Chain A
């Protein structure tokens, strides 16, 4: 190792330090943690934080991806490459398998999405592997229900979040005590904003999937959002496919994640664009949150991420 000068403790480094502390607490207090890695920007940051917390040793937990089968191919390719670089183990929990085995029923029609189905696949995988803690990349600035969620978010033995009976969370003392069958979702990035995440990715020069940068894509407009067209997409009356230069602010299921018109081709340009944006990332790009005033709250109560 080379000798480096002590870094200035910028707000990013303070947030980093806090997140590393959270990850080490989980490793020490839980028997079978897992880190949820989607290939999206937030979980990319989680992986770097795990390296900072545990290297030169291997991670004391595997990684897991809940694969809807409708993910962007660029993201899946990136996911596998990143996992291989790290030399860590990846578990893929497949929504397709949940459908094939009859655990869930696929939605039909042009607006069908596998977003909600993910919850069943996620909870099944947590039960199957006996995971008692799952790291997620959720942030409190994303959404109003998340603004109220703890860093250690307790889930009952149905995997559900009960917003009214959350444990108080004081200082940096986290209560990780659970009974068998219960689990905790842990959000080390709770206090980060979208801009923090991009500035951190830029400072750390982390690789992200290419869909985060401006690229040409065949898209169509629905409910004011730009969706990627792919083979099999059912168009509704009047919808037309055209080519547009877009990038993605969030990485989710292709069926419910919209792109934004953008020319940002580098990390710096993305940071500048995010700093100037006037629309939240979920408001701009996620149909799953537009379903109702409390769409996220309701899904979280069901056991969603």
Chain B
């Protein structure tokens, strides 16, 4: 079963052609509408363009971004071909780079890393590849851009591939890296094949995006994880429609979205953190009962035994249970000015559970520039990533982030400002 929806992320600045690449993908797949095109044409002229459409302008969003000619925030863009729908998380390269890249990467199945063929493998490209790997993106598409400015040279391409390969050895968790020589400006090897680089025989960017597999293609390969979000109980519900609920009786179902794996009616399951066992009596949906549900479906489970399960608990198979603990370690990306310090107290949201958490220790700092872990600092500042040990007031039911992105991730919330201040990956 193949999901025909691919989420991917790009990161970079105007200089390396990220916006032009996205604009080119949208334009060449005929996803740009006439009114948008008219708008871009006007803006191109206003900014002194000489008649050529500046496709990068297609990705402009907010007023401040147009005024300053930069991207401030992650933007989401959509396009489709006859084979697949695509969601692009388009991340700015400069301002708040780590915070934005982490955000964009958190939901992506693939990352497009841009390299300027003239300037070589710069820090920003490395940083993006590293953060993509850290966020568990298994596939990198390395687009070596501006090939037109290096005379479409195969030697230059091979040289850059070699440099990047040397760097990529240090990345863990990346299973697949593809290299494509492109010119986003001229459209070479983006959607259309390049006439200038006959030596390149691989897929174009779009062909690759259409073909890659996504995580949910193999639901049976992962253990079953079903965090309970909401209990459906018509009998106790209030609200205008309550009286009209049919045979409310003692109907009780546990609603949620399968984070991974599959469930069948009759399966023996455990409810964690308590560990009580029961069987799946029925898998309900609005469209009728199912024999089987697979990730990422949203369903409602009825259980054979009358257990009082609540939001925040997790249903799984007894023989493949995740970790249940009140203490954990994680790489935390810090996203706010006020630093993270030992003994700091935060709200932690993990799957459908909210818990108070206290930071016990900052164990090290990940130096994104060198990809090395260095001596623990006194605090983590904005855009820092460090390994942290923390405790929670209630037990959490979790997996390693590398084996399960849904049950291995959490966010930290500042209790006084309510801001989302940290993103954690358990390991």
Residues of A at the B interface (CB closer than 8 Å) are 1-11, 13-18, 20-21, 24-25, 27-28, 51-62, 86-89, 140-141, 144-145, 147-148, 163-164, 166-173, 175, 177-179, 190-191, 193, 195-196, 277-280, 283-284, 293-294, 297
Q: Give how many A-B residue pairs fall within 8 Å (CB-CB).
A: 221
Are A170 and B103 in contact, CB atoms less than 8 angstroms apart?
A: yes
7 further interface pairs, Cβ-Cβ under 8 Å (given A60-B237, A167-B420, A170-B423):
A3-B288, A21-B298, A24-B256, A57-B232, A164-B62, A171-B405, A173-B409
Residue of chain A at shortest CB distance from B33: A280
Interface size, chain B (Cβ < 8 Å): 84
Are A89 and B298 in contact, CB atoms less than 8 angstroms apart?
A: no
Choose one: B76, B285, B292; the contact of A52 (CB below 8 Å).
B285
Q: Which 9 A-B residue pairs are closest in the complex by CB-CB distance?
A: A58-B241, A89-B240, A283-B35, A87-B244, A11-B5, A20-B298, A177-B418, A4-B288, A57-B234
B352 within 8 A of A: yes
- Assuming the A-B contacts A144-B61, A195-B80, are A169 and B1 also in contact, with contact meaning beta carbons closer than 8 angstroms in the complex? no
A262 CA to B141 CA, complexed, in Å: 42
Are B33 and A278 in contact, CB atoms less than 8 angstroms apart?
A: yes
Choose one: B3, B85, B229, B292; the contact of A24 (CB below 8 Å).
B229
Are B311 and A5 in contact, CB atoms less than 8 angstroms apart?
A: no
Are A11 and B4 in contact, CB atoms less than 8 angstroms apart?
A: yes
Are A9 and B294 in contact, CB atoms less than 8 angstroms apart?
A: yes
**Chain A proximity mask over B27-58: 1 for CB below 8 Å, otherwise 0:** 00000011110010000000000000000000
Q: Which residues of B contact A278 (CB under 8 A)?
A: 33-34
A9 CA to B2 CA, complexed, in Å: 8
Q: Which residues of B contact A167 (CB under 8 A)?
A: 419-420
Residues of B at the A interface (CB closer than 8 Å) are 1, 3-5, 33-36, 39, 60-64, 66, 72-78, 80, 84-85, 87, 99-100, 102-103, 106-107, 216, 229-230, 232-234, 237-248, 251, 255-257, 284-294, 296-298, 311, 335, 347, 349-350, 352, 405-406, 409-411, 413, 418-420, 423
A175 CA to B415 CA, complexed, in Å: 12
Choose one: B99, B294, B350; the contact of A168 (CB below 8 Å).
B99
Are A9 and B1 in contact, CB atoms less than 8 angstroms apart?
A: yes
A188 CA to B132 CA, complexed, in Å: 26
Q: Which residues of A contact B230 (CB under 8 A)?
A: 24, 27-28, 53-54
Are A9 and B297 in contact, CB atoms less than 8 angstroms apart?
A: yes
What is the distance, in angstroms, from B333's C-beta to the closest C-beta of chain A? 9
Q: Which residues of B contact A147 (CB under 8 A)?
A: 61, 75-77
Are A293 and B239 in contact, CB atoms less than 8 angstroms apart?
A: no
Q: Which residues of A contact B291 (CB under 8 A)?
A: 3, 5-6
What is the distance, in angstroms, from B369's C-beta to the closest C-beta of chain A? 22
Q: Which residues of B contact A17 (CB under 8 A)?
A: 257, 296-298
A97 CA to B210 CA, complexed, in Å: 52
What is the distance, in angstroms, from A285's C-beta to the closest C-beta of chain B? 11
Q: Which residues of B contact A164 (CB under 8 A)?
A: 62, 64, 72-73
Are B229 and A6 in contact, CB atoms less than 8 angstroms apart?
A: no
Can you list 5 A-B contacts (CB < 8 A)? A53-B298, A54-B230, A141-B77, A163-B73, A193-B78
A89 CA to B266 CA, complexed, in Å: 38
Are A55 and B288 in contact, CB atoms less than 8 angstroms apart?
A: no
Choose one: A86, A191, A195, A284; the contact of B87 (CB below 8 Å).
A191
Residue of chain B at shortest CB distance from A51: B286
Q: Which residues of B contact A191 (CB under 8 A)?
A: 76, 78, 87
Q: Which residues of A contact B3 (CB under 8 A)?
A: 9, 11, 14
A177 CA to B76 CA, complexed, in Å: 24
Q: Which residues of A contact B240 (CB under 8 A)?
A: 58, 62, 87-89
Are B62 and A179 in contact, CB atoms less than 8 angstroms apart?
A: no
Choose one: A59, A168, A171; the contact of B335 (CB below 8 Å).
A168
Residue of chain A at shortest CB distance from B62: A163
Are A140 and B239 in contact, CB atoms less than 8 angstroms apart?
A: no
Are A25 and B1 in contact, CB atoms less than 8 angstroms apart?
A: no
Choose one: A3, A4, A55, A297; the contact of B63 (CB below 8 Å).
A297
A16 CA to B296 CA, complexed, in Å: 10
Residue of chain A at shortest CB distance from B257: A21
Choose one: B64, B245, B423; the contact of A57 (CB below 8 Å).
B245
Are A14 and B5 in contact, CB atoms less than 8 angstroms apart?
A: yes
A89 CA to B1 CA, complexed, in Å: 40
